[in-house]
Amino acid sequence: MGDTVFEVAPGWAFVAVALLGGLIYLGAVINGLLATRATGRAPSAALRWPVAEAARLLRQRRRSTVSADSLLWRIGGAGMLIVAALKIAVIPLGQWTLFDFDAGLVWFNAMDTLVWALIWLVGWGGNSAHALVGGYRFLALAVAYELPLMFALIATAVGAESLNVGSIVAAQADLWFVVWMPVAFLIYSVGAVAFSVWGPFASALAPDIAGGATTELSGVDRLLFFAGRYGVLVAGAAFAVALFFGGGFGPLLPEWAWFLVKTVLVLAAFIWAGRKLPLIRPEQFMEVGWVLLIPAGIVQDLVVALVVVNR
């Protein structure tokens, strides 16, 4: 168990979800600000846009398709937000955590494999060809990014000699893991952006297949899905702070404040990089993942293991 982290009462889960909601809004605003800068519109539109879009989707009547598998479709659409909430359960906010779990790192990893199922279910449920193509694209991409991601996660667990996220944060009191595990951090970032179907890894939702998995999503389903996508990205950024940027460690400010500041910075970096990088075709990324990233991750794990054995 982490000696600097203690578990809070379950009621705080509501606060955690509210915080997640706030960060989702912030993520949408950051994305909007980058969009307004790119198109030369007034930046104030970015503040208004997430609220206006949410209001529009809440009022929109839900569209349905012929013989849609509504059950699976709804599970896929609403699931992303639930996965995001389950992910943040094991991430310590400074010294508080909702779930001080011995295998917290594996918990987070298990939650991001749920995204495999959810994106495919969204693609399948609507009984639409473009949406199904999007679902298959995500699975192809997932096979390419998930294994490197696992090797990146292993590096931090070996470095801290624990699977508990609190202990991993505590092990960075002297030196952040990003300093001596830069390759693991890069691979983790690729994975985090990819499981959020963001930026170069958004081919499952690409315009060339009319929005892919989300082609037929409308109304509240669409709102939940896209809010959940930002939520998963927020969880990915927060987990990067816990694994690589020393969690709440920092001078002057309290731990929770440092944690939030770092999370927002990493989130902004993910969103910015996602907008700058071109879309990657899944079949091309397969080779990048297996020929470059997996060996790089294994070498990183080996280096970390040698350091841990010899210290």
Minimum distance from residue 197 beta carbon to other proteins (Å): 14
Pairwise CA distance, residues 51 & 29, whole Å? 10
Q: Which is nearer to other proteins, 19 or 149 (CB)?
A: 149
**Contacts with other proteins, residue ranges (CB under 8 A):** 69, 71-72, 101-103, 106-107, 109-110, 113-114, 116-117, 120-121, 124, 136, 139, 142-143, 146, 163, 280-281, 283-288, 291-292
Minimum distance from residue 117 beta carbon to other proteins (Å): 5
Minimum distance from residue 301 beta carbon to other proteins (Å): 18
- CA-based nearest residue to 213, from 111, 299, 124: 124
Q: Which is nearer to other proteins, 286 or 298 (CB)?
A: 286
Alpha-carbon torsion (60, 65, 67, 71), positive or negative: negative
Element (H, E) at 97: strand 96-97
Minimum distance from residue 287 beta carbon to other proteins (Å): 3
Q: Which is nearer to other proteins, 86 or 305 (CB)?
A: 86
Minimum distance from residue 90 beta carbon to other proteins (Å): 10
3 state SS for 50-75 = HHHHHHHHHHCCCCCCCCCCHHHHHH
> Interior CA angle at 155 toward 165 and 8, to 5°?
0
Q: Which is nearer to other proteins, 31 or 128 (CB)?
A: 128
Minimum distance from residue 286 beta carbon to other proteins (Å): 7
Q: Which is nearer to other proteins, 36 or 64 (CB)?
A: 64
The alpha helices in the chain, defined as continuous H runs, are 12-39, 44-59, 70-88, 104-125, 129-160, 165-170, 177-180, 182-195, 219-244, 255-276, 282-287, 294-310
- CA-based nearest residue to 154, from 301, 47, 295: 301
- CA-based nearest residue to 203, from 145, 126, 268, 127: 145
Q: Which is nearer to other proteins, 108 or 185 (CB)?
A: 108
